[in-house]
Amino acid sequence: MISGGADGLGLAVARRLSSRGVRLVLLDLNPDALAKAKQELGPRTLALRVDVTDPATVRKTVDQAAAETGRLDILVNCAGITGKTNLKSHEVDPADFDRVMKVNVNGCLNTFQAVVPHMLRRNYGRVLHFASISGKEGNAGMLAYSTSKAAVIGMTKVQGKEYAQTGITVNALAPAVIFTELVAALPPEQVKYMTDKIPMGRCGTKDEIAALVEFIVSPENSFTTSFTYDMTGGRATY
């Protein structure tokens, strides 16, 4: 199950896992993107429109998917928004801040709470939350986004410890700037600020992200939990 799975990083992950024979459940708010993704990935893919900020709807949708597929082994939380950027903290709109937190943090929690009971029944699961290097270091001009991703990292640390003896691992992935549609929509000066911090001097790619995700959610990755993986082109060294 991939939230935000109809485009961007979520779709890149979906393509990679589909090529390995994984049956997919895509959650997204965009019906047109969902229809296009389902057409590309094939009839075995479930494409379900859902607002991840609504816990009751998320639970109902997850239960529906579990009933149809028979099991839920993997949850990848890609759904996220940046909110308004290139602003000093005193200029941030509180309503925009709340909206980013609801999607990026509450969205991860809502899907987690709906999916994990299904994993517990089988004593197996792989959960991956998408965080960001901005959650470790903070990106100036991105107060809401950086705060939300720091919260995702904290959530991952707690959840991984809580379920460490259940066969369920919970990890996060903290990329530096990856070239996606979301990044393309940012102000150029914001992208330059982020890219200039990367020793490799470039954005990461969606294919690079998908390759690492494949390992993180695989059965072989069985002794790592509560951990935040780095993919930053040398920016993060801790």
Active-site residues: which are they?
A: 145
* Cβ–Cβ < 8 Å for 202, 176: no
Structure letter (DSSP) for residue 161: H
Closest CA relative to residue 129, chosen from 147, 106, 99: 106
What's the angle, vertex CA 162, arms to CA 101 and CA 159, rounded to 5?
Answer: 20
Residue 193 to residues 46, 187, 203: CA-CA distances in angstroms?
38, 10, 12
Which H/E stretch holds residue 127?
A: strand 125-130
User: In angstroms, rounded to a whole number, what is the distance separating the alpha carbons of residues 76 and 95?
Assistant: 27
The angle that helices 206-216 and 8-19 make with each other, rounded to 10 degrees, is 60
User: In angstroms, rounded to a whole number, what is the distance separating the alpha carbons of residues 99 and 129?
Assistant: 18
Give the full edge-to-edge strand order of the sheet including 125-130.
46-49, 25-28, 2-3, 74-77, 125-130, 168-175, 228-231
Closest CA relative to residue 148, chosen from 170, 171, 169, 130: 130
